[in-house]
Structure 1
Amino acid sequence: MTLKYNEQAPPVPGGSAGITTREESHRTASTATSDSGKQSLPALEVQDVHASFRERRNKLSVLNGLSLTVEQGEFVAIVGPSGCGKSTLFHIIGGLLKPQTGLVLMNGQNVTGQRGKISYMPQQPALFPWRTIEDNVLLAGEVSAHTPPKAEALAEARKWLSSVGLGGFEQAYPHMLSGGMQQRVAFLRALLSPQELMLLDEPFSALDALTRSDMQRWLLDIWEQNRRSVLFITHNIEEALLLADRIYVLSNRPATVLHEVRVPFDRPRREEITEEKAFLERKRQISEWMKEEQKKARLTP
């Protein structure tokens, strides 16, 4: 049985509705079916990736046969204990590191170890302080192999800056903006990159609670307009459930996929769903898994 990403999976014996096993995840997520009935290749497939580092004379295993997919136009979140290897996974997907074994495929093509295939938004805005806001947004196109004409890129950047409440700040510099405004600029830079797949690495973790909530609503609105394929790392379970179509729950290091949670809530998402029973039940279940992993970590020598 093949499930589209916006459908709720059947209950797993001994589990909860909307949760699938690792084997079912690998089997059902390998292809997606479009409205025309044709199969489309996933935007991203990570297949059985193992990664380790040398620490003095010892080998530190970080990823242990990790597999996941992101379908075309899908928003997928990853949650897991601190230090479990989420950032290492992003480095492998982005081509900065090569795994010991395993593959990274994008649109069916093997891109393992290749750079320049993704757009990336880090935890901090990482804006160049000597460039204006407009020029920071244009940077993604400038470093791309397929640079659009400057006039076209400039018009697109100004349109987006205006649409996200940054009109009038085009010639400002990063230090003149608040943290939330800087994150909007960083997101627009990633959004306007020509690469289809976006990797977002805890982009709101440094923001205060109110600004973070505003940014979540803003991101939902922008993503609904654009529907880029997104892989999103977060430690915030509520944030993952609010934003994502599916959530991968990772184990302690060496990380593997413990559970896949299919989020059944309709889009466009309303902030009020965070108070609904089904939302709270999934949040509680994921929280229990995370606590169990943290307990295991404390008992591991």
Structure 2
Amino acid sequence: MSLHPTDLTSPHMADEQQRAGEAQVLTSTPPALELDGISLAFREKRSSLPVLQEVSLTVKPGEFVSLIGPSGSGKSTLFHIIGGLLQPQQGRIRMHGRDITGERGHISYMPQQPALFPWRTTLDNILLGQENAPRKDAAASSRSVSERERRKEALQWLEQVGLGKFAKAYPHTLSGGMQQRAAFLRALLSPQELMLLDEPFSALDALTRADMQQWLLQMWEKNRRSVLFITHSIEEALLLSDRIYVLSARPASVVHVVDVPFPRPRREEITLDPRFVEWKRTMTGWMREEKYKLDDNINNAEGVHKNTSDGGVNHYE
């Protein structure tokens, strides 16, 4: 798949007809990713540690979905299962309707740390995802785009994200934010359609993180790749996502699903909206409750009445 950079400085506002057409396409095509009842327990000698318990979620084509939950609840483990590095004891994984449980090579991945090779230039690092693509994806890519064209396209992307002057630079000369941009471009230019982003901004300072959130919003709004995003920041999840899955304490299960009500395109000012503040407060309460459970400070949350639907999962609009 060839992506062509566009002008990120001019905000794009889709008209109602285009939005309606996009919604119709989303409802008529299989999910880009579907997890159905994923369960996993790690075994050590005679004991076992349940980590995931019947986790189900979907990512529609072109949708930005976030996962939040207490530390240690199994979010990164879930990514390893999606990527085929771990085999679930129960449940299936489907992409575009096809069962890919246990298979590798179907996702592009951006880890918490940039993980750039120090002996490769910025340009060569962002081309790495295409070089390491599964044979069938690499073959399809090579038929449509030559190596020279891929390098030219990558250079255009580097210009778009402010790294054009650093194409031949090595990672140690780049700031943390610049390294994260390079890592994101590596995932973006990989031929796989689904992107898994595992807390990509957690190591950045607050100001750089805010800048990277806005940059990611602009990049995603222009390309609409299917994204599953892990974060511990409720504000970040509300700002970036179409939908948010809230995981319980270990063993993790889905306890809340939030359809984010704020229209796109979004900018940082939305965080001051009273509705945004109220959602943040509500979700903070959920997360605090799960953290207490994980820490064994409380056994059960009392006095909380939950109206359940969708088989026991709370769904919020």
TM range (shorter): 0.7 to 0.9
5 Å-filtered alignment, 1:3-14, equals none
Are 2:183 and 1:186 aligned? yes
Q: Give 5+ residue unaligned stretches, structure 1.
A: 1-31
What is the aligned residue count? 270
Match of 2:161 in 1: 164
Q: Normalising to structure 2: TM-score of the pair?
A: 0.83
Are 2:80 and 1:91 aligned? yes
The CA deviation at 1:36 is 5.7
Residue by residue over 1:196-232, the C-alpha shift from the partner in whole angstroms, topping out at 9 and shown as x without a partner, is: 0000000000000000000000000000111000000
Query: One-letter code of the match for 1:256?
Result: S
Instruction: Write the distance in 2 (CA, Å) between the matches of 1:37 and 1:279.
Output: 26
Is the CA contact (8 Å cut-off) linking 1:34 and 1:40 kept in structure 2?
A: no
Match of 2:235 in 1: 238
Match of 1:298 in 2: 295
CA RMSD of aligned residues (A): 1.5
Query: One-letter code of the match for 2:43?
Result: R
Instruction: Write the distance in 2 (CA, Å) between the matches of 1:158 and 1:37.
Output: 32
**CA distance 1:38–1:280, change in 2 (3 Å):** closer
Instruction: Write the distance in 1 (CA, Å) between the matches of 2:56 and 2:186.
Output: 28
Instruction: Write the distance in 2 (CA, Å) between the matches of 1:280 and 1:263.
Output: 13
The CA deviation at 1:78 is 0.5
The CA deviation at 1:34 is 4.5
Match of 1:281 in 2: 278
Instruction: Write the distance in 1 (CA, Å) between the matches of 2:161 and 2:238.
Output: 23
**CA distance 1:38–1:186, change in 2 (3 Å):** closer
Are 2:135 and 1:138 aligned? no
Is the CA contact (8 Å cut-off) linking 1:33 and 1:39 kept in structure 2?
A: no
Secondary structure of the residue aligned to 2:24 is coil
Match of 1:44 in 2: 33
Most deviating of 50-59 and 212-221: 50-59
Are 2:221 and 1:219 aligned? no
The CA deviation at 1:155 is 1.1
- Identity fraction in percent: 64
Q: Normalising to structure 1: TM-score of the pair?
A: 0.87
Is the CA contact (8 Å cut-off) linking 2:65 and 2:229 kept in structure 1?
A: yes
**CA distance 1:284–1:37, change in 2 (3 Å):** closer
5 Å-filtered alignment, 1:109-120, equals 109-120=98-109
Secondary structure of the residue aligned to 1:230 is strand
Is the CA contact (8 Å cut-off) linking 2:66 and 2:245 kept in structure 1?
A: yes
Instruction: Write the distance in 2 (CA, Å) between the matches of 1:129 and 1:38.
Output: 44
Query: One-letter code of the match for 1:46?
Result: L
Match of 1:154 in 2: 151
Are 2:64 and 1:78 aligned? no
Is the CA contact (8 Å cut-off) linking 1:251 and 1:258 kept in structure 2?
A: yes
Q: Give 5+ residue unaligned stretches, structure 2.
A: 1-20, 300-317
